[in-house]
Amino acid sequence: MSPAAGNKAPQKAPNGNRDATDRALIAAGLELFGEYGFNGTSTRMLSQSSGANVSAIAYYFGNKEGLYKAVIEHIVQRATQYIGPACEAIREKEPMLTKLSARKALKTLVESVAHLFVDSDEPKSWALIVMREQARPTEAFDILYYGMMKTLHGQISALIGICTGLPAQGDEAKIRAHTFLGQILVFLSSRETLIRQLGVKKLSDHHVSLIHKVLWAQVAAALKVPMLCRGEDR
Amino acid sequence: MSPAAGNKAPQKAPNGNRDATDRALIAAGLELFGEYGFNGTSTRMLSQSSGANVSAIAYYFGNKEGLYKAVIEHIVQRATQYIGPACEAIREKEPMLTKLSARKALKTLVESVAHLFVDSDEPKSWALIVMREQARPTEAFDILYYGMMKTLHGQISALIGICTGLPAQGDEAKIRAHTFLGQILVFLSSRETLIRQLGVKKLSDHHVSLIHKVLWAQVAAALKVPMLCRGEDR
DNA sequence: GCGACAAATTCAATCGATTGATTTATTTTT
DNA sequence: AAAAATAAATCAATCGATTGAATTTGTCGC
């Protein structure tokens, strides 16, 4: 029986090659799905790039879509490595945050998200995958949403709430959090446009540090905007 | 000879159905490419959805990619209908803009872009297409970039320059313009996340008007941020 | 510690279905 | 009748998935 049949976890894994093969497939999937999209990536490409046989896809992940989901889970796991620490630090001391400390926590969070999406080259392969899921959510979107988006979005809303006096569960705090994320995400999702505008081939260190400065300066300025809603929402 | 052989524009359009067929194909392409992506859309789907025969794709557009480019051109044309007027108004009086009038012009521009990407449902089908081109630019990206992005981005940079004293052609003004666009675009590119956070199925009129308020309030606040760069760039 | 057996894994070969594109024939318009 | 446009049929190529055999690996009686 293939390990993909039972939900997870091989019973006794007599063969040590197990990890090596499915890791190679996930690595290939990350590369190829990111480069060519789901439909643009054939099982044969995945097989060749990973060195594994085509049937290994069905064997380990059920089918191509199963591998795709595994790749998404891997993305969530990697992203968590970047922003997880900042999120947990906030969750721990959230009840006793003051305006000032909340501001500081938000800065840390914004910087770690920016570090992931602006500095690092790693998520460049994620972009197409994540954007596709945003545009046409499949079952895999749940993995992305519950695995990272929801927590991140919620934390930012909470901090905005503390800093501005807005109800953290209200529409305005959520919308503001969305614009904060937008300012950062655009450097991943629309990087090609920025590159062309700047007339360079790649973002230099100088650009990256300037982006960080601009980001925090503008987020900080946005925090000073007084509440706009007329208190109708929760 | 097929009309797609010569680069464009039918010589004398002897058949009245000419326009109807290729328009139907573009409409179908807009729908299907937006829904399933380029690779996910087959020529047979396009044929069935448009009512045209499969061979009409080759006849009018050379091949599937030709139709895809025509769809992108259509997107640019539609977007220009939204934001073109605001852009031209600015270009006309750019030399004599004061800080105050530039601020007002920027507000108009931001609102027309937001009107397109937040209020309207039309660009929802564009999202996947545009995002894909951003992630992996093909030749078609040039159409998007030179047809709308470049002008829009440049105009915003120019207005930021006037409002803040930054050089409009400098890196910081361009980066700031990018974050402004990011705050708006995120409502298209990551709408699914926002929808889930708000706990609704669709953005209500109340949400839309609140988003507009938040957007302008934050952009206005960002304009007050003094220049950050140490004047090294152009 | 050995050899046999079973489970886990890999492999090449092949399935029917679908892909984009082309060809040939027919209809419509001028 | 000539040109333009549509329709139907068909092309080789490739798709995801499956097959059953071959190979590797761990387990267990002895």
Residue pLDDT tens, chain B, 234 long: 556 544 333 333 344 456 789 999 999 999 999 989 999 999 999 999 999 999 999 999 999 999 999 999 999 999 999 999 999 999 998 888 999 999 999 999 999 999 999 999 899 889 889 888 888 888 899 999 999 999 999 999 999 999 999 999 999 999 999 999 999 999 999 998 999 999 999 999 999 999 999 999 999 999 999 998 775 555
pLDDT tens for residues A78-99? Answer: 999 999 999 999 999 888 899 9
Residue B13's pLDDT is what?
36
Q: What is the DSSP letter of B34?
A: H
A64 interface with B at CB cutoff 8 Å: no
Residue of chain B whose Cα is closest to the Cα of A35: B136
Residue A228's pLDDT is what?
87
pLDDT tens for residues A25-50? Answer: 999 999 999 989 999 999 999 999 99
Alpha-helical runs (H) found in A115-234: 124-135, 139-144, 150-164, 171-189, 191-198, 205-223
Is strand C within 7 Å of residue B226 (CB)? no
Distance of CA A176 to the CA centre of its chain: 18
Residue of chain A whose Cα is closest to the Cα of B208: A175
For testing contact with chain B, the best of A38, A39, A197, A234 (most B CBs within 10 A): A197
Residue B5's pLDDT is what?
46
Write down the residue that tokens 């197990």 correspond to: A18
Contact assignment for B127 to A150 by CB distance below 8 Å: no
Segments in chain A below pLDDT 50: 1, 5-16
The helix (run of H) or strand (run of E) holding residue B194 is: helix B191-198
Q: pTM here? A: 0.89
Alpha-helical runs (H) found in A51-170: 55-61, 64-93, 99-114, 124-135, 139-144, 150-164
| Cβ-Cβ contacts under 8 Å for B218 (sequence gap 6 or more) | A176, A179, A218, A221, A222, A225, B183
